[in-house]
Amino acid sequence: MKIQESAENYLESILMLKNSKGMVRSIDIVNVLEFSKPSVSVAMKNLRENGYIEMDADGYITLLPPGQAIAEKMYERHTTISKWLESIGVDPKTAVQDACRMEHVISEETFDAMKRHIKTCGGK
């Protein structure tokens, strides 16, 4: 199973929720992503069946190593890109929205180049 854009997004959301409130259930993902409960339920089932997450009897979700790796990668891209967009004058809300799309479509090489560029060129 090649990891899909939507799966990357769910994993990233799980990590962000874990960071912000410790424990994560499907309903929390429903609330942040604003997808329907069934959509999230099915997505979690897929992530579970493919070894990206684990769920205990109460529905609490843990990222397994492969899921954690993807989540962290997306999270780094997200924060880097959205902060950079803000620094060059994009409205914070738009910056987050656009970072959310860009983070899934760029190559490793492009992201590395962007990081180097931001370091030398900053938001100036």
The least distance separating DNA from the CB of residue 72, rounded to whole angstroms, comes to: 19
Is position 123 an interface residue for DNA (rule: CB under 7 A)?
no
Of residues 39 and 79, the one with the C-beta less far from DNA = 39
CB atoms near residue 28 (< 10 Å)? 20
- Cα(120)–Cα(40) distance, integer angstroms: 40
Is position 88 an interface residue for a copy of itself (rule: CB under 8 A)?
yes
Is position 4 an interface residue for a copy of itself (rule: CB under 8 A)?
no
Of residues 4 and 94, the one with the C-beta less far from DNA = 4
Is position 32 an interface residue for a copy of itself (rule: CB under 8 A)?
no
Is position 55 an interface residue for DNA (rule: CB under 7 A)?
yes
Closest CA to 12 of 60, 68, 51: 68
Per DSSP (E only), the strands in 1-124 are 53-55, 61-63
Is position 98 an interface residue for a copy of itself (rule: CB under 8 A)?
yes
What the block records as the tokens of 123 is 């938001």
